Amino acid sequence: MDAGVAAVLGALAGSVSAAVVAFIGGRYSREVAQIGARSEHLKESWGKREERYKNFLLILGTAELQLEKIVRRLLNGQSILAELEVFIDAVKPIENARTEVALAGPLNTHESARLATVVVLFVCEKLEDHKLAHSYLAQGPFPMGTWEMRMFGEGLARKLEELEGAKKSFEARAVQDLQDFGFRR
């Protein structure tokens, strides 16, 4: 074989092998970059989801603590007007927090958040009614009696139990969702 042809064939084989190596290296680099981007996106999404779940649980925890105080005071025949206002103010953002949970997580997490929200909003409505009734009765000849306050307290105690159960259910589903989500810190 002629030396010129051998040189050309050698150069051709070298360029083909270099092109193949460059092609494989480029594909590998692109896949590594995509995996890194996906991983970063998962971290960010997981963090947002965790933050939304924590926010919702914070509101539920505050509602639970305030409702415990209200029930205790009602069962002892004491006024709840100050605690009532604190409860109502504390749970105002629950609808927005539930919507964020619904947007962030799967249906089972959303459903348990909805149940907890229904309980909290029911209690809030009953407390608003109590506040209104108290303002009317305080001006009239028949103030609210201890029996009525006790009955109201017992009704709220049952709702407190529902709230505790709904909160535990949401918390368990949120933890499970974060574990199943695909990224663990």
Is pLDDT of 162 > 90?
yes
Of the chain, the percentage scoring pLDDT greater than 70 comes to 74
pLDDT in tens, 91-141: 999 999 999 998 888 888 888 999 999 999 999 999 998 888 776 666 655
Q: What is the mean pLDDT of residues 77-82?
A: 86
In terms of average pLDDT, the best of 23-27, 76-80, 125-129, 139-143 is: 125-129
Is pLDDT of 142 > 60?
no
C-alpha R_g of the chain: 31
Averaged confidence pLDDT in the chain: 82
Q: What confidence tier does 29 reach under pLDDT thresholds 50, 70, 90? A: low
Say how far apart CA 158 and CA 71 lie, in whole Å. Answer: 10
More confident residue, 166 or 183: 166
Least confident interval from 10-14, 59-63, 106-110, 152-156: 10-14
pLDDT in tens, 43-63: 667 788 889 999 999 999 999
pTM: 0.73
Residues 6+ apart with CB under 8 A from 181: 42, 45, 46, 49
Q: What confidence tier does 185 reach under pLDDT thresholds 50, 70, 90? A: very low
For position 22, what pLDDT does the model report?
67
For position 117, what pLDDT does the model report?
94
For position 39, what pLDDT does the model report?
61
Say how far apart CA 134 and CA 138 lie, in whole Å. Answer: 6
Domains and CATH numbers, the chain: 48-180 (1.20.120)
Say how far apart CA 74 and CA 152 lie, in whole Å. Answer: 7
Is pLDDT of 180 > 90?
no
CA-closest candidate to residue 174, choices 121, 104, 117, 119: 104
